[in-house]
Amino acid sequence: MSMQGTTHVVEPVRKTHFADESINQQMAISGFAVLPTKVTSATVAALSDLYQGVVEQVGRDSSGVFLPSMMITHLELRARLWDGVQSILAPLCDPLFMPDTTTVIGGSFVSKPGAENSARNPHQDPSVFDETREVSISLWIPLTDSDSSNGTLCLLPGSHLMGNNVRPPDVNSLCTEVSEFALMQSVQVELEAGQVLVIDGSVIHHSPANTSDTERVAAICALLPPSREMRYALSQNGAAEGIAKIYQVGVEMYRSGNLLSPELDSAPLIQSHKYQPAGMADLQASLATTL
């Protein structure tokens, strides 16, 4: 895997809290990093069994498109995946971080079937923390080797610094020009089964179609940073830009809540905040800081 940017020391405003400072530096510069140690084959098998057990109950999706388990409509089964990932990975992942900082709170799975329409366009993850204070990170662990043939992840180094920290889940956070640039300039990350990729939720990432005849499944480990406050940004009816209402929500929202039509009546309203798709000026400014 090639990496863009220099190796000079970066003092980020928002910091990750890995015990290995070199990982914190990679995250500050690029917005992603591959951990030096894989999880065991037994852990990969346990995650695979957990995923397959739920698939057997909900049925295998036949649409051929990329499918995140967070969109399963059977909320009890989705919660089972969340809890299962937490029980399997927390004992392994908690020691990766400095004491009293980052906690494994659950997880999910993403499936990319072998199909022409399984590509995932460039995007950023929805904002679920105050990203002016904390880095929203997750761990991405493929359950089979992930390479160019089955649609491995591609990421754009430095794009996590664009500063568009409010990203409602039903709104594209990138303008068309930025998406096209990311398709051409992103770095492809090939991983063996059980390798751990750390992703800043604000880094641009995408994946090409899975052209193999085998489903590519990855487990995603959800992490809670020191702020301990999860958020949900509600757009104005999916408008391309405008004002988002930002609510404070509990972990249960992401564990078993309806993320497409969330119940927010009892959630505290933190603030209303402007949002709009990131443009090329935002991207160019962020990439300039890594050169």
CA-closest candidate to residue 291, choices 45, 46, 30, 6: 6
Domain annotation covers residue 16? no
In a domain, 137, yes or no: yes
CATH number at residue 235: 2.60.120.620
- 3, part of any domain: no
Residues listed for the chain: 291
In a domain, 117, yes or no: yes
Query: How many domains is the chain partitioned into structurally?
Result: 1
pLDDT in tens, the chain (291 residues): 433 333 444 445 679 999 999 999 999 999 999 999 999 999 999 999 999 998 888 777 666 666 778 878 888 999 999 999 999 999 999 999 999 999 999 999 999 988 888 999 999 999 999 999 999 999 999 999 999 999 999 999 999 999 999 999 999 999 999 999 999 999 999 999 999 999 999 999 999 999 999 999 999 999 999 878 999 999 988 899 999 999 999 999 999 998 888 889 999 999 999 999 999 999 999 988 765
Task: Enumerate residues 6+ apart whose C-beta is below 8 A from 182.
Answer: 122, 154, 156, 159, 174, 204, 206
What are 111-152's pLDDT values in tens digits? 998 888 899 999 999 999 999 999 999 999 999 999 999 999
First-last CA distance in the chain: 18
Domain that holds residue 281: 21-288
Residue 172 placed within a domain: yes
Across the beta sheet with 32-34, what order do the strands follow? Answer: 32-34, 197-200, 137-142, 216-224, 103-112, 67-68
Task: Specify if 10 maps to a domain.
Answer: no
For the question of whether the overall pTM of this predicted structure is more than 0.75, the answer is yes
- Cβ atoms of residues 178 and 234 within 8 Å: no
Spell out where 194-251 has E strands.
197-200, 205-207, 216-224, 230-234, 242-249
User: Does 12 map to a domain?
Assistant: no
Angle of CA points 7, 9, 14, to nearest 5°? 115
Within a domain: 1 = no
